[in-house]
Amino acid sequence: MDIILAIAVLGGLGLIFGLVLAAASKVFYVETDPRLDQLNACLPGANCGGCGYAGCGAYAEAVLKGEAPIGACASGGNECAQAMAAIMGVKAEAVTRKVALVRCSGDRSYDKDGNLVRGSKIKAEYEGFKDCMAASKVGGNGPISCKYGCLGFGTCTKACKYGAISVKNGVAVVDEDLCVGCMACAAACPRNLIVPVEPGRNVVIACASMAKGAVTTRGCTVGCIGCGLCKKICPEGAITVTNNLAVIDYSKCTNCGLCATVCPKKLIKDSNVENLGDPTVKPMNNPEVKV
């Protein structure tokens, strides 16, 4: 009898509390804009943070309030931007896909036996926590000689939710087919090596060193020395040398590849050229440029 009474009491309490909660939900109900769920449905749900917000839900809410621009979701791309614009009843500019570029070519150096090794020279063995930020604080800008180069401990790979970036021969490399351009990797890189660029570029200057040529040479076998030969040969004026570093303006670049043929470090990569990066390949003899 006591058991039945206890069950009845608990059942009654449960019913009372249920009625109270139901009443409270009606009293304190806050009507939400149905467009919020629609905006969330347009987003990929990766919560990569590339838009500058904590996650897709936060970004959708900011768009609904007019606090964030449509098209900031790199993961969703143009399709996502146009769908969100249709929901909000506005017109959105076409979103151009971007991918990450690691401005370091330290993976294209060879030892005396012809084996591929990292170009940036190692000045000390690092045995601490395998993290780029931690390594950069040790021994004067980290264990490698180039203070601008990739440390290679994979902090960027941990930040990427798409598996688009990996470390090969001590240097981070981006798979453009997997990269969505969220730039979470760039935010994680303590050396600010990673920048967004349009995919499919044939010609790339993958270096961020602003040191003088002699200093760069001492620290890396494939770093830009700011010689300016690429700038002189470019017929479109697409290359400038600022702070000892050659930079390509892709709005002018036609992918002709002439710059790659005269670079004494074979730093400039041209995907149209076979055997690129082999230091045994000599620069093309060009009467207009003195090597």
pTM (2 decimals)? 0.72
Domain 34-88 has CATH 1.10.15.40: yes
pLDDT in tens, 2-57: 788 778 778 778 888 888 888 777 777 666 788 999 999 999 988 888 888 989 99
Q: At what angle do helices 77-88 and 56-64 cross, to 10 degrees?
A: 40
Asked whether this chain's domains 34-88 and 202-291 adopt the same fold, the reply is no
Give the per-residue pLDDT at 78.
Answer: 92
Altogether, the residues listed in the chain come to a count of 291
- With a CB cutoff of 8 Å and minimum separation 6, the contacts of 69 are 63
CATH no. of 202-291: 3.30.70.20
Specify the CATH architecture of the domain 97-200: 2-Layer Sandwich (3.30)
Instruction: Note the pLDDT tens digit of each residue in 43-69.
Output: 998 888 888 898 999 999 999 999 999
Q: Which of 119, 166, 113, 120 is nearest to 142 (CA)?
A: 120
pLDDT digit string, tens, across residues 171-197: 899 999 999 999 999 999 999 999 998
Smallest CA-to-CA distance from 238 within 224, 249, 229, 228 is with 249
- Per domain, the residue ranges of the chain are 34-88, 97-200, 202-291
What's the whole-number mean pLDDT along residues 105-132? 69
According to DSSP, the β-strands at 245-248 and 239-242 are antiparallel
Distance CA 165, CA 49 (A): 17
Residues 6+ apart with CB under 8 A from 179: 99, 100, 162, 164, 165, 199
Show the tokens assigned to 277: 């990066």
Given this model, what pLDDT does residue 30 score? Answer: 64
Report the DSSP beta bridge partners of residue 220. 120
**277, pLDDT greater than 60:** no
153-157, 212-216, 217-221: which has the minimum mean pLDDT?
217-221
- Tell me if residue 11 falls in helix, strand or coil: helix
Q: Is the dihedral of CA 199, 195, 145, 226 positive or negative?
A: positive
| pLDDT score for 243 | 93
